[in-house]
Structure 1
Amino acid sequence: MKPSSPLPLSEARRRFFDGLPLPDHAVPASILHSWRRCLGLGLTASRPMYGERLDEVQLRLRCQQNADWLAVARPQVETLFDSVVDDGHVVIVADRDGVILNEIGHTPFLDRAERLALTPGVGWSEALRGTNAIGTALAQAETVLVRGSEHFLERLRPLSCVASPILDPFGQALGVLDVSGPPRRLGRPHGLRLAAAVRQIELALFERHCGHARVLQLADDAALLGTVRAARLAFDDGERLLAANRQALSALGLSWDDLGRRRFVELFGETLEHWQHRHGRGIASVACGQRLLSARVDEPETTLPATPVDAKPRPSRSARPVPTVPPADDAGLPPALLSQALKLLEADIPVLVLGETGTGKDRFAQALHAASSRRGGPFVAINCAAIPDGLVEAELFGYEEGAYTGARRHGSRGRLREAQGGVLFLDEIGDMPLPLQARLLRVLQERVVTPLGGGRPQPVDVRLVCATHRDLKRAVAEGAFRADLYYRLCHYPLRLPSLRQRGDVALIAQQLLDRRGGARRGITLAPELAQALRRYAWPGNVRELDNLLQTLLALNDDGTQLTLAHLPETLRGEMGGEGSGMVADDHGDALARQMLQRCGGNASAAARALGISRSTLYRRLGRGMR
């Protein structure tokens, strides 16, 4: 029997937007998943092209903020341009928010791109433009090809694009490289050239950021070691995994969340020191699952000189010029807050982060480390409330052999010394015992730490980030927190807003889903669930939302569209309807005003995005104006 002809794309679109089932492979899986994400965000195919264009000053500032990685990418962008310009295409560079920074290419198509707002200064995230190569590549963290009617918005049908995100060695998206042109002229060869250019850029970024570290290279063939196709993992002095490229994560079955957590011995069954003792700089074999790979360890370009005990600690050699790219924001954090914290950290001023439980203070600290000049150094976190009082001091300052019953045979360096050259994060510092507060203050003033049980004082060079949900000023008044330490830490406290204050919760939820692999697995939010997420009060803030999404990802198969029926029974009733009173009035009023502004004053679009009626929207807006 003759196989049936494939469903035309126009018919597939009609069925999708009418809510009818689609046959398998009617559209590429990445496109279908993106369409579903767009529906969950409240977009419609006929939506006008919302979003303002940056003026020249704003655009210039954006380019300056991304100048670090743009300079690394420029040679590959020019090479890619040379390979596609004769086909009538343009090469586009966008930042991590999907805002186009630059484009070069075929003049006639540049004119057409201008009419479609595909031009510098315009944002192309999925939330703004629906399914498109730039926004969808960022959402799915992979190369994406979008042709003609595969775009979610009708107005983008005259366009075909292929794009790939550019990631630094720490898993942070820096930007996007895109090739766009007329439909039917763009194909797989252009995607291959684009992917090759991105690999070269990411290799240059890896070498730039990890030259001070020991790097393990892996490849199927020893001849590939040292090339762009080799897997690379960087390790710090404590043999903790510091950075990696995508090939390494794939080869070892790791994720970006493993950075800073896994050690060499956990991955390969022996210490890096033992490996180097056996193999030196030679090539050896290593087992990665069922594969046997060739491996080589490259020594760092420079090493830190020993610092005399009585000398002032010198800045770490791993420090680099202050990065201009702000920390990654996947939970609606205000960019201005992130930028302020980064400036404080770079000036060696303790960063004190305040916020309700679950607002993501730990993630905020990790983002600061990843964006700072100390990204090449360790990130060491300690929760002052999670360690028994009697062990906090030993955990933080270290101890000599025999310092107390149960101590390790050879003692411990302590978390402060483990953070040498990097960032120390003290979570829940408001719960630190008073005697320990005095020792911490002394370390901050003298930059020297003395282990328990005696031993020689050791200089430390760390940057400090602290966090608490407590009112430290009240704790000082009650005698539960030292006033001198409070004023040493409280230079410029930064308060993280609650999840309710961060804008569209459904958009934040989709970003968190994408971060955990939901986009790659095709797991999306149904519109009714997105509306319920917007209405709920989220007393547990980002942690509550993230935990829920993580659980839903674990319970559901690839390609699932999450609905209210997928929620646990305890939440289903609370999220079930508009009249359930889930959002406090003041938060609902603020969210209504924010959404109206996001929708360019279009009340119908704002009400649809919030999952409420227009009359309810007007009532909230009127109440907020009183």
Structure 2
Amino acid sequence: MPPNARLPLDEIRRRFFAGQALPGQALPTDILRSWQRCRGLGLAAGSHGGERLSEAELRARREANADWLESARPALAGLFAQAHAQGLALVVADNRGWVLEQSGDIDFLNKAERLALTPGMDWSEASRGTNAIGTALAARDGARVRGAQHYLERNRSLSCAASPVFGPQGQLLGALDLSGASRKLGDAQWMLLQAARGQIESQLLEEAARGGWRLSLHADPRLLDGPAACQLVFSEDGRLLAANQGGLALCGLEPDAWQPRHFAALFGQSLEHWLSRNGEALGLLQAGPQRFSARLRPPARRVDAAIRSRPLAPPRPAPAALDGMADSLFASALKLLEADIPVLIQGETGTGKDRLARALHAASSRRAAPFVAINCAAIPEGLIEAELFGYQPGSYTGASRQGSKGKLREADGGVLFLDEIGDMPPNLQARLLRALQDREVTPLGGGPARRIDIRLICATHRDLRARVADGGFRADLYYRLCHYPLALPPLRERGDAAAIAQAMLDGMGAAKRGIYMSPELARAIRGYRWPGNLRELSNLLATLLALADDGAALGLAHLPAALREDMAAQGHAVEDSAIADLLRRCGGNASAAARALGISRSTLYRRLGKAAK
């Protein structure tokens, strides 16, 4: 074949699904990588996708995303007007690919209804294959998918373009999509989509900047107010609160991977020093090897002195990073937290109890206040009391000369997370109970009692009722904490483990590097019981990514030898009893269960038949 000859797309599809090699440049790189991810998950090209959310579930998702959607209204209104005038549909999805809203051209909307591109439908890659919404979310980058580039046959009449939307701490919020006839969806529409995304992200950053100092950076001082400038927002003590995409890159942060940063660490001088020399005037700042023109603006509004230095995190919905956890569990936990009822999370080691606690804080009304965590099992028994309650100077040998506030007072106004509460020493349990009941703390060594206002989240892998029965945990503290215990299920009970692994890989940046799972690895992940749960899976994936070259197809050969042996001992397959359980959880839908297992429906029936004999 001549090097410049282009294969018809139908022939490319035939070769790909037959497992044959494709010539170079046969497909755009992002489309090929998406196809490879979908094939790794065992998704069939003839699939019809997922089910529709109930009205109550859709309403809950809209409520979870209400804050950023409200900020996006002006940009969405302008984009809707353009879409309607050009015969296109505008679709808004959340960060998991669930369609929240749809509007635009009536004729196309009728077609979209037939293709299930409507509110309440799941358009993630794991459900709908390669499509603009799901692929943009997976790759954390814009995506354009035309006709038969869609992975599923039923979607080949669609042409779509989508762009992810990020919050001011780099968190993935959702995606905007324009869909319509291929001839109507060109570069001009793509630019409209990107402009709307930029307008939304600028508005969210503006709202986050109202209580902080806003730093603008650019090599050219004339462009400090333009969209290309790096924008960073700092609290008055110099902690980074928010940033635009350029600002995140300057700080070495990937989208959806926020970490604390400080003005002094970034620029070699404190925020206070900059203000003393430059005030609000134009100045120069050095960030590593780069030199910028800079301008620092004061907060748009002053916040109360008691919370002035607290990070002002923007509202956000329940994150996709909770990896297969039921939305209803998260919603229940959030309602308890907002009602000032202790949240008790129970679950096996590695199920993500700490991640759930942090996500609850980030989604709560106290997201701008501190989140203070302490592991009750990791601190020596002789020190945990001082860690929790603080101490006066000289209270004990080795104590700091300045004393300590303690974790309970550090969490004042915010959320305290007591991890492994079941391992708290018995003598400390009584003191914690009194502090929770009286809402005040007295430090070790005496001193006045201090009032505290905290919301409490506790977590344990232990059976607290059994601990109460054997005298290891106080009954009165148990009943103070155990209003409505929430059980976090292990990974093996969260549905398709390979789909969860793929979502975790996407969050780690695998899609951008073109790294994807092979079908054999996906089957092995589904068949393994994961005794270390999400922690074990997450650690494995992070290690595989660190070792893999860009464009690699992760297979069994990439796994550590010990893990391959463990998987081999389990036969690289799910036990028949687990298959029957999965079929029950799929409501008896054999096609859905077979798809989750990466096997054909006939194979599923054959194995169920053997188990019944």
Question: TM-score surpassing 0.5?
Answer: yes
* Percentage of identical aligned residues: 56
Contact preservation (8 Å) 1:241, 1:259: no
Encode CA deviations 1:397-439: one digit per residue, 9 max, x unaligned: 3334444444445343333333333222111122222333333
Task: Trace 1:419-458 onto structure 2 (pairs within 5 A).
Answer: 419-458=411-450
Contact preservation (8 Å) 2:217, 2:224: yes
Paired AA for residue 377 in structure 1 = A
Residue of structure 2 in register with 1:610 after alignment = 597
Residue of structure 2 in register with 1:89 after alignment = 88
Q: Helix, strand or coil for the counterpart of 1:51?
A: coil
Residue of structure 2 in register with 1:161 after alignment = 160
Contact preservation (8 Å) 2:433, 2:477: yes
- Separation in 1 of the partners of 2:612 and 2:407? 51
- Separation in 2 of the partners of 1:107 and 1:613? 39
Contact preservation (8 Å) 2:50, 2:122: yes
Residue of structure 2 in register with 1:73 after alignment = 72
- Separation in 2 of the partners of 1:610 and 1:505? 9
Residue of structure 2 in register with 1:388 after alignment = 380
Q: Helix, strand or coil for the counterpart of 2:361?
A: helix
Contact preservation (8 Å) 1:592, 1:620: no
Residue of structure 2 in register with 1:312 after alignment = none
Contact preservation (8 Å) 1:438, 1:485: yes
Paired AA for residue 594 in structure 1 = R
- Separation in 1 of the partners of 2:388 and 2:222? 45
Residue of structure 1 in register with 2:172 after alignment = 173
Residue of structure 2 in register with 1:33 after alignment = 33
Gaps of 5+ in 1: 308-314
> Shift in Å at residue 110 of structure 1?
2.5
> Are residues 623 and 476 of structure 1, via their aligned partners in 2, closer, same or farther at CA, if it must alter by over 3 Å?
farther
> Are residues 563 and 110 of structure 1, via their aligned partners in 2, closer, same or farther at CA, if it must alter by over 3 Å?
same
> Are residues 452 and 200 of structure 1, via their aligned partners in 2, closer, same or farther at CA, if it must alter by over 3 Å?
farther
1:375 aligns with 2:362: no
> Are residues 619 and 408 of structure 1, via their aligned partners in 2, closer, same or farther at CA, if it must alter by over 3 Å?
farther
> Are residues 385 and 123 of structure 1, via their aligned partners in 2, closer, same or farther at CA, if it must alter by over 3 Å?
same
Give the one of 571, 577, 581 matched to 1:580.
571
- Separation in 2 of the partners of 1:623 and 1:340? 40
Contact preservation (8 Å) 2:235, 2:310: no
Q: Helix, strand or coil for the counterpart of 1:211?
A: helix
> Are residues 479 and 304 of structure 1, via their aligned partners in 2, closer, same or farther at CA, if it must alter by over 3 Å?
farther
Give the one of 368, 381, 406 matched to 1:414.
406
Root-mean-square deviation (Å): 3.2
> Shift in Å at residue 158 of structure 1?
2.0
Q: Helix, strand or coil for the counterpart of 1:94?
A: strand
> Shift in Å at residue 300 of structure 1?
6.4
Q: Helix, strand or coil for the counterpart of 1:573?
A: helix
Q: Helix, strand or coil for the counterpart of 1:374?
A: coil
Paired AA for residue 103 in structure 1 = Q
Contact preservation (8 Å) 2:10, 2:148: yes
> Shift in Å at residue 224 of structure 1?
4.3
- Separation in 1 of the partners of 2:372 and 2:470? 30
Contact preservation (8 Å) 1:399, 1:413: yes
Encode CA deviations 1:282-322: one digit per residue, 9 max, x unaligned: 44333333222325253362332569xxxxxxx9999999x
Paired AA for residue 42 in structure 2 = G
Give the one of 558, 580, 592 matched to 1:589.
580
Contact preservation (8 Å) 2:95, 2:175: yes
> Are residues 108 and 173 of structure 1, via their aligned partners in 2, closer, same or farther at CA, if it must alter by over 3 Å?
same
Residue of structure 2 in register with 1:115 after alignment = 114
> Are residues 190 and 490 of structure 1, via their aligned partners in 2, closer, same or farther at CA, if it must alter by over 3 Å?
same
Residue of structure 2 in register with 1:137 after alignment = 136
> Shift in Å at residue 240 of structure 1?
4.3
1:489 aligns with 2:488: no
> Are residues 225 and 544 of structure 1, via their aligned partners in 2, closer, same or farther at CA, if it must alter by over 3 Å?
same
> Are residues 161 and 479 of structure 1, via their aligned partners in 2, closer, same or farther at CA, if it must alter by over 3 Å?
same
- Separation in 2 of the partners of 1:103 and 1:93? 6
- Separation in 2 of the partners of 1:34 and 1:620? 31
**TM-score of the superposition, structure 1-length normalised?**
0.88
Residue of structure 1 in register with 2:538 after alignment = 546
Which deviates the most, 200-209 or 131-140? 200-209
**TM-score of the superposition, structure 2-length normalised?**
0.90
Residue of structure 2 in register with 1:348 after alignment = 340
Paired AA for residue 548 in structure 2 = N
> Shift in Å at residue 161 of structure 1?
1.0
Task: Trace 1:93-242 onto structure 2 (pairs within 5 A).
Answer: 93-209=92-208, 211-225=210-224, 228-235=227-234, 239-242=238-241
- Separation in 2 of the partners of 1:274 and 1:316? 17
Encode CA deviations 1:532-570: one digit per residue, 9 max, x unaligned: 111111111111111111110100011111111111111
> Shift in Å at residue 14 of structure 1?
2.9
> Are residues 545 and 109 of structure 1, via their aligned partners in 2, closer, same or farther at CA, if it must alter by over 3 Å?
same
Hey, which bits of structure 1, 4+ residues long, moved more than 6 A? 315-321, 622-626
Contact preservation (8 Å) 2:576, 2:611: no
- Separation in 1 of the partners of 2:313 and 2:288? 36
- Separation in 2 of the partners of 1:192 and 1:483? 62
> Are residues 388 and 122 of structure 1, via their aligned partners in 2, closer, same or farther at CA, if it must alter by over 3 Å?
same
> Shift in Å at residue 36 of structure 1?
0.9
> Are residues 494 and 237 of structure 1, via their aligned partners in 2, closer, same or farther at CA, if it must alter by over 3 Å?
farther
> Are residues 258 and 596 of structure 1, via their aligned partners in 2, closer, same or farther at CA, if it must alter by over 3 Å?
closer
Encode CA deviations 1:439-477: one digit per residue, 9 max, x unaligned: 322332233333344444433322211111112222223
Contact preservation (8 Å) 1:394, 1:414: yes
Q: Helix, strand or coil for the counterpart of 1:444?
A: helix
Residue of structure 1 in register with 2:505 after alignment = 513
> Shift in Å at residue 278 of structure 1?
4.2
1:304 aligns with 2:304: yes
Residue of structure 2 in register with 1:311 after alignment = none
Q: Helix, strand or coil for the counterpart of 1:521?
A: coil
